[in-house]
Structure 1
Amino acid sequence: MLAKQWLTNAREIMSRIEETQLDHIQKAAEVMADSIEAGRWVHTFGCGHATIPVEEMYPRIGGFVGFHPMVELPLTFFTRITGEMGVHQFVFLERVEGYGVEIMKGYTFDPQDTMWIFSHSGINNVNIDVALEAKKRGMKVIAYGSAAEAKGKQTRHSSGKTIFDIADLVVDTCAPIGDASVPLKNHQDKVGPVSTMAFVTCVWMTVTTVAEILAERGVKLYIHPSHNAPGDDTSRQRLDEALAEYKRRVAGV
């Protein structure tokens, strides 16, 4: 069954992440924890399906305040597929050098912030723009993607650099560069992509490590509780507290 083949591929990638990336995840988590403890942000950014890990971590049950999602709608919204904000436009836009510079103008940053970027191949211009602009503002840049598989791929950016060249820290998601992993009879292209699963695996390994570090430092975390579990009469209150803290940080108070 191809279903079992996909599961095998996914498990192998998760095992490789565990075997090879724990030290890198720990180092990335320490940088992120420093930003959050300082009352600042870990800004999270990606394009296309690399926005899924951004949307997965916050706001999310079990996530906590400190991660700021930067989701540019034309680079993530695919429900129409063709027509307005379709796939054709997305493929064009993610390769437009300078677009990321304009995105960065819409936010307020601090050198104590961290920029966490998700990019499977590391070669497209918007992600590279954002990384370079973050470095100009004194932020640490952390990149998650298929770094080993992407080695040697030609960047599309005039800087001559990939996202993995620019980043201060890199975590390899261990996904194949072609993403789809299951061969299909009578077809050239494979099915069953694994990069999203790899990204989300790395996200929660990282975010739980950040939580562990901050808890050991005595920092109070504003965690989003489940508001669907029976018998928890204070979950809404804790959710309101988390959102109030988020608003406080957004306001720069």
Structure 2
Amino acid sequence: MLYKQFFSKVEDILKEVSQKEEKNILEAAKIIETSIKDNGVLHVFGCGHSQMYAMELFYRAGGLVPINAILSPPLSLAPSAPLSTFSERQEGLAKVVLNNENVASQDVMLIVSTSGRNAVPIEMAFEAKEKGMRVIVLTSMAFTEEVESRHKDGKKLYQLADVVLDNHGNAGDAIMEVHGLEAKFGPTSSIIGFTILQSVVVQVIDNLVKSGEAPPVYVSSNLDQGDQINRQHIEKYRNRITCL
């Protein structure tokens, strides 16, 4: 059964990430921990499918409260997927997007791009650094090493990062093959990427607790006390987080 092979391959990648990305996960968690202690916010940005990473971390039961999802409509798959592909290659757009967010120098910018080649994610890293933020990048090093930058400076996203989290995916993302079909299929970036980012959040919370801090964590609104607890968190961060 091919689906079982897919499970097996994903499990192998997760094991590889767990072993090889430990240093980077811990470093990313430390940067975010320091930011939260300084009343900072983690901004999460991506284009197209990579907007899912911002959605995954934002306003999530069991997740950190001071996370801002940057969800720019031109970079979304709705209303037009081809428009998203076109938009993420346009220089100048990231500056406009970031200027609509309430950011501070103690904040952290997390940028997700599997290929790490397109202009908008690269420019977003430039802009975040201009504002004094640390930059964490989630990408596929195997993918980005296979392609040329689409930014005028010739930089790739990972080259602008303070910390690089490698999802250990293939160039092109897909890992499955079958006789009779030329194209590969079965992408892994989302499955592995979500796990990496949630592991960073888990480590941030652990770090905060062990340092004597009470980390702000959302509670499911479907639990009896969830709405009351979350209302207090939202009130504190409403002015810093766009979607609140």
* Structure 2 residue runs without a partner (length 5+): none
Conservation of the 8 A alpha-carbon contact between 1:65 and 1:245:
no
Name the CA distance, whole Å, in 1 between partners of 2:184 and 2:172. 9
For residue 13 of structure 1, what is the aligned residue in structure 2? 13
Name the CA distance, whole Å, in 2 between partners of 1:128 and 1:64. 26
Helix, strand or coil at the partner of 2:132: coil
Name the CA distance, whole Å, in 1 between partners of 2:52 and 2:152. 27
The yes-or-no answer on 1:239 pairing with 2:233 is no
The yes-or-no answer on 1:138 pairing with 2:132 is yes
Give the alignment of 1:207-222 within 5 angstroms: 207-222=201-216
Runs of 4+, deviation exceeding 6 Å = none
State which of 91, 95, 102 in structure 2 corresponds to 1:101.
95
Conservation of the 8 A alpha-carbon contact between 2:60 and 2:218:
yes
Conservation of the 8 A alpha-carbon contact between 1:222 and 1:245:
no
The residue type equivalent to 1:68 in the other structure is N
Name the CA distance, whole Å, in 1 between partners of 2:173 and 2:229. 39
Give the alignment of 1:191-210 within 5 angstroms: 191-210=185-204
Conservation of the 8 A alpha-carbon contact between 1:111 and 1:138:
yes
Instruction: State the Cα RMSD in Å.
Output: 1.6
Aligned length: 242
How far off is 1:152 after superposition? 5.0
Conservation of the 8 A alpha-carbon contact between 1:101 and 1:129:
yes
How far off is 1:62 after superposition? 0.5
Normalised by the size of structure 2, how large is the TM-score?
A: 0.94
Identity percentage of aligned residues:
31
The residue type equivalent to 1:239 in the other structure is N
Seen in structure 2, the aligned counterparts of structure 1 residues 250 and 119 have a Cα distance that, compared at 3 Å, is closer
How far off is 1:8 after superposition? 1.2
For residue 104 of structure 2, what is the aligned residue in structure 1? 110
How far off is 1:184 after superposition? 2.8
Normalised by the size of structure 1, how large is the TM-score?
A: 0.90
Conservation of the 8 A alpha-carbon contact between 1:29 and 1:210:
yes
Conservation of the 8 A alpha-carbon contact between 1:46 and 1:117:
yes
How far off is 1:249 after superposition? 4.2
Name the CA distance, whole Å, in 2 between partners of 1:248 and 1:179. 37
Name the CA distance, whole Å, in 2 between partners of 1:138 and 1:101. 14
For residue 70 of structure 2, what is the aligned residue in structure 1? 70
Conservation of the 8 A alpha-carbon contact between 1:39 and 1:249:
no
Helix, strand or coil at the partner of 1:133: helix
The residue type equivalent to 1:38 in the other structure is D
Residue deviations 1:202-240, cap 9 Å, x none?
1111000111111112222221112334xxx42221121
Conservation of the 8 A alpha-carbon contact between 1:63 and 1:224:
yes
Give the alignment of 1:1-253 within 5 angstroms: 1-78=1-78, 85-229=79-223, 233-247=224-238, 249-250=240-241
Helix, strand or coil at the partner of 1:183: strand
Name the CA distance, whole Å, in 1 between partners of 2:83 and 2:240. 34
Conservation of the 8 A alpha-carbon contact between 1:117 and 1:141:
yes
Conservation of the 8 A alpha-carbon contact between 1:40 and 1:112:
yes
